[in-house]
Each structure stands twice: as structure tokens, then as C-alpha cells.
Structure 1
């Protein structure tokens, strides 16, 4: 997380659940969600990058 913050990603949300931690970060029109889960004691990390821009919204609307 510290290296992402050094690259100007801003932490916007943190949530903790029984077996997972979620951190959301933003930079420009991008949202990065980092999910650290420990199901059954096995660690793994999921990254989800989302972009929210007028062009993305238009493409999403046209795909429906």
C-alpha cells in the first residue's frame, strides 16, 4: 500500500470483514480495489481496477 500511496494513489475507503480486508484507492478517473483474503488460512490478494470516465460510461451504455 505504501508504494501505491507514493505513486499518488489516494486511499478512499477501508473495510474489514471476518476473513477479508478491502482498501479502495483512487487516482484520476481510476479506482483500484485491493482485497486481501484469508479463506481457510490461505492468503491471497485480489486487485480490481475500474475506470470511471465519460468515454467508459458511453461504452457501457452502448453495450446494453
Structure 2
């Protein structure tokens, strides 16, 4: 699994742990829901800024989104 796919899997996992929808995560991270969906599916490369905003919205450290389970 490459890092983009790993990031997407981790975003989905932590979003669901928080009980958030993609819409809620997108709103909290100030981005489009379709962008969150693309990130979760591993079809978009996240920017460093996006990584930080998603981590903040999920209330976790950014590095957690890049770790293997």
C-alpha cells in the first residue's frame, strides 16, 4: 500500500471512530466533501496543509494519518 492509500485508509478509520460523516469532516476541515472522499479512496494526493487541517478536525496528531496500523 502506498502512502496516499495509507493516508486515505487512516482518514476513514479515524473519521468513523469519531462518528463523523464525510460532510462533517469536510466542514470541520474547511474543504469540499468530494475532496475528502477522493482522499479516503486514495485518488488524490494530499497537500501538507490538507493533512494538517484533517488531523486538526479529527483532533489527532498529523503523523497518525501516515502510520501503518
Q: TM-score, normalised by structure 1?
A: 0.27
Greater share of strand: 1
**Higher helix residue share:** 2
TM-score (norm 2): 0.26
